Chain A
């Protein structure tokens, strides 16, 4: 999967240097597998009362994660997102946002 993502990123040309983009996406994928997949799922379409994040661009995901990290309530699952976003650095958020936007189009 990582190879496919790298190729997609390179083809899209949406990131600076190809190598840097691959590293970001791989780190984002790893973080997604730890923090996000349990509720948003393997394809980002959400499940139960957890919303879909498929089709969202990186700017949207970044904005939301920073809002949650700042303890701003956005929707009924905010408490859970506060807890998860609390540990994310700016770099983590950038990686996650890139991975989600690139993978779950």
Chain B
């Protein structure tokens, strides 16, 4: 896992716009990964409540958000008063991408990083 990384998973609980199977597979994979993560019932609701958790997440250096369209995610954070710096954030869209692809991109980074990491610490 990259340093200062955080994963945020949105369950979109109150709507049926994200395929249930995709949500189930991604959440199972997260639980199996052993990684820490944040899971929210509904990012829209948190944005409307201006939930301070969004502020904490917006400050994370490498934030990965598993939710819906990136444009929606960015403006939901912005609407909550905690805008995201777009360069910091990766958004995985469960409305359009298959679970397998999301899981692979979300969780296998660690393996790729391990494979490509220099043996003698970080480059100067």
Task: Determine if chain A interacts with chain B.
Answer: no
Q: Which residues of B contact A (CB under 8 A)?
A: none
> Could you list which residues of chain A lie within 8 angstroms of chain B, going by C-beta atoms?
none
